[in-house]
Amino acid sequence: MIPANMLKFYINGQWVDPISTSRMGVENPATEEIVCEVAMGSAEDADRAILAARAAFDGWTYTPVKDRIALMKRVLEVYNERYEDFAQAMSTEMGAPITWAREAQAWAGQVHMEATIKAAEEMVWEYNRGSTRIIYEGIGVCSLITPWNWPMNQIACKVAPALVAGCTMVLKPSEIAPLSGTLFAQVCHDAGVPPGVFNLVHGAGPEVGARMSTHPEVDMVSFTGSTRAGTQIAAVAAATAKRVAQEMGGKSPNIILPGANIAEAVAAGVTAVMSNTGQSCDAPTRMLVHRSQQAEALAVAKEAAEAIQIGDPRDEATVMGPLISKLQFDKVQRLIQAGIDEGATLVTGGTGRPAGLNRGWFTRPTVFGDVNNSMTISKEEIFGPVLAIQPYDSIEDAITQANDTIYGLAAYIAGPVEDAKPVARRLRAGTVNLNYPDWDTSAPFGGYKQSGNGREYADWGIHDFCEVKGIVGYGEA
């Protein structure tokens, strides 16, 4: 599904021609075919969108909260009307299997908007503390920079809280997965978002993203992507003291406790890594198992990985599609080879495409055993369907290995809950998942260490887009 207006930007309530004449082909990674072109903006295009957001700010931020929430409900309503279009768009731009695109990718945008609306309705926006009035109000103009791996998840996690908080914004989706972002701009237009409140500009990070991070009229940058890019944004944004929220890389541990059902826990861990073709920042890519149970864990992981159905994303039975691009394919191949070269045991998978798939950026679900924290595959974020299984000798050893990483986005523990709880408290990660729970869109999501700062989802996300004002001497409410 190719949306209209791929060669235009949405600025001040209108689809406008870019100032820049640059374009880029959008590839379907399952076929390597160019399905359309997208306009690539310049710093001047970003300026135009930012100034439109600034001009709209006062009118929007002083709109009553109930009216901002009502508009967000209308955006959700229009999104739901176009739900299948979003699924088709993300299947095309990402190569996501269509069932996954419907049940996970498009669904994520829907449920995050729902969670934000619920949180906004329940939030106390003003209250008295003695004679001081405490007020939560929108921080200002926000630059929203989103990734290609979960397009609508991240757009919803930024746009929805910014909108209800009273912010105005410029969105730059990933230029290699721009279809869903363009479609979302049309949803905002059809829902009646006032001119200038929401704006969209496509483009590359060094041109558009850099200007969105440094422009003096921008008050906040909310970024999701690589740690390298996120730290660069924080550095350049510091000159104007912008708030910077970052959700960046991860190398999440998954501790399988000795009391866990090994067959169930390992198989579920494999599924969690391989879903979305391993392209999730919080994927449990480091599985820690007791040394006495590693052989059993490797056998279970091999069977689970080899059972994954890979192929045409249009087939509703397909479970795993391609990686997003040749660049990502080459990176994953290099890191798989590094695992082999550094002495990890290759349990299944390896380099190259799966049998019978000679076109598209498909890669083999890969499992390594006998991994240790000195190996590249344990340290680097691979962002592909690669699981590293490493043994531990005691719970203390497992915790030490789990925390021995520059990242801290998520962690996983499988086993009896009462055994898992004290371990969870000692893991340095923003989210700790016990026994593969359902996705909780009201839980805070964000990282420790080089996984970033700030939190997304529900009221946590709203607070990130708010300033707190105290009016001292206000008197009784």
Give catalytic residues, as residue numbers.
Answer: 247, 281
Beta bridge mates, 221? 143, 244
Q: How far apart are the first and last CA of the chain?
A: 53
Residue 118's CB is within 10 A of a number of other CB atoms, namely: 15
Longest dimension (CA), the chain: 74
Tokens of 165: 């908080």
- The alpha helices in 26-178, defined as continuous H runs, are 43-61, 65-81, 83-94, 98-100, 107-122, 151-165
Residues 101/91, Cβ–Cβ less than 8 Å: yes
Give the list of residues 6+ apart from residue 89 with CB closer than 8 angstroms, or none.
Answer: 1, 2, 3, 179, 180, 183
Q: In which element (H, E) is residue 395 found?
A: helix 395-403
Residue 456's identity, in one-letter code, is E
Residue 283, exposed/middle/buried by CB under 10 A (0-12, 13-18, 19+)?
buried
> How, if at all, do strands 386-392 and 366-369 pair?
parallel
Integer CA distances (angstroms), 451 to 144, 163, 286, 351, 385, in order: 18, 25, 16, 28, 20
